[in-house]
Amino acid sequence: MNAYLRSVIENVKAKHADEPEFVQTVEEVFTSLEPVVEKHPEYEKADLLSRMVEPERTFTFRVTWMADDGTWHTNTGYRCQFNGAIGPYKGGLRFQKDVNLSIVKFLAFEQTFKNSLTGLPIGSGKGGSDFDPTGKSDGEIMRFCQSFMTALHRYIGPDIDVPAGDMGVGTREISYLFGQYRRLRGAWENGVLTGKDFASGGSLVRPQATGYGAVYYLENVLKHEGEQIAGKTIACAGFGNVTWGICKKATELGAKVVTLSGPDGYVYDPDGVATPEKIDYLVEMRASGRNRVQDYADKFGVVFYPGEKPWGVKVDICMPSAMQNDVHLEQAKQIAANGVKYYIEVANMPTTNDALAFLMAQPGVIVAPSKAVNAGGVATSALEMVQNSERLVWTEDEVDQRLHQIMNNIYQASVDAAAEYGLGYNLVAGANIAGFQRVADAMMAQGIF
């Protein structure tokens, strides 16, 4: 490996040994950049790569809130403003009990390349809290969001940092956060957050955007292979907003999502999550705050596999859409043995690095990386920012057409970048290189700091 690249990766490993997810993502992305670093010795002179792994700013804050029974609780809030070279920091907030600095930093680092790939002017950030929304009442959620925003509001703004949703943070949470921001700021600045409810300035199609975008990307991959989406079976994980969007669009196009998963196990529905009743039920399950996928099996009479993951099911396409490191080497081997041809990552970093390398080395398997596949969500957030700053509201069709075009562009940019560096049809390396290039150009142009 290129000596400079190797030394930066080794430094990150040594310095951040206590942040395994962050180290994992840096290794994955930077390994793809070898031909680029070889071709651009000026990056080493400017020590560009060391600057790219150091967030511009990261902070934690105290979030204290009152439960319905009058007891007080304190959680940690996080925001990592990773890279602002091409636009205001932009990225979601994750409320989940396991959230820690390593997870926030890995997500913010990935966001740098993802946001760049959209071609829109958005820098990268990520944040959240170790608050566990499971089983919390609406009042508890509202008070938590208000306390969270009271601490965060000074450090964000429509031209500074624009948070959005992620796991555990949907329209309801974003709107509570926005209400508190507006109260504190004393101004109508709805461009400060994206994923708001429609009446507060949210964009049409934003709730569906990540799932729809993933399917639009998938269609590009299938087209390359001379295949069509109609008639295909898809294994998904999770049952949240992203999986819901995939089910909706896949059904509309004649494909069938046959698995869903949760922390409790997975369900297999051979008829597909393919009727309005079933698809709507995902929203209901998420809103219940129970965080159990078994409810789907109970309601629709399908089989529930407690404590298991869906990756042993024979399907045409796997779309891991739940969370990081869901697919380990063992599951990757199972996926390859089942003859799955399309491995389309959707959740951020759903595959361990060894599993990803294994799948990419299988001659019959096409791998697409999450930072490209799920970029439709943040891209539509950027479209929400445009509407907010222009004081306009676009129709569903206008937003959807733009989203579709952006996904086609992301796919093509990835294909072209890999081909330019002699890597063939490599969607993983292509996305890393294309995403890197734009941020690198801006950082080089702006001088060293």
Interface residues with ligand GLU (CB under 6 A) are 90-92, 164, 166, 194, 348, 377-378, 381
Q: What's the CA gap between 305 and 282, in Å, rounded?
A: 18
Closest approach, Cβ 376 to ligand GLU, in A, equals 9
Q: How many CB atoms lie within 10 A of CB 394?
A: 18
| Helix H or strand E encompassing 366 | strand 366-368
3-state secondary structure 322-360: CCCCCECHHHHHHHHHCCCCEEECCCCCCECHHHHHHHH
Residue 126 appears among annotated catalytic residues: yes
Q: Are 374 and 403 in contact (CB under 8 A)?
A: no
Parallel, antiparallel, or unpaired: how do β-strands 57-66 and 72-83 relate?
A: antiparallel
Closest approach, Cβ 92 to ligand GLU, in A, equals 3
Residue nearer to ligand GLU on the CB measure, 125 or 310:
125
Residue nearer to ligand GLU on the CB measure, 53 or 242:
242
| Helix H or strand E encompassing 376 | helix 375-390
Q: Are 144 and 138 in contact (CB under 8 A)?
A: no
Residue nearer to ligand GLU on the CB measure, 366 or 378:
378
The residues facing 90 across adjacent strands are 162
Residue nearer to ligand GLU on the CB measure, 106 or 342:
106
Closest approach, Cβ 304 to ligand GLU, in A, equals 28
Q: Which of 105, 126, 196, 248 is catalytic?
A: 126
Alpha helices in 17-100 (DSSP H): 20-32, 34-39, 41-45, 48-52
Which single residue brings its beta carbon nearest to ligand GLU? 92
Closest approach, Cβ 381 to ligand GLU, in A, equals 3
Closest approach, Cβ 400 to ligand GLU, in A, equals 16
Q: Are 254 and 229 in contact (CB under 8 A)?
A: yes
Residue nearer to ligand GLU on the CB measure, 110 or 316:
110
Catalytic residues: 126
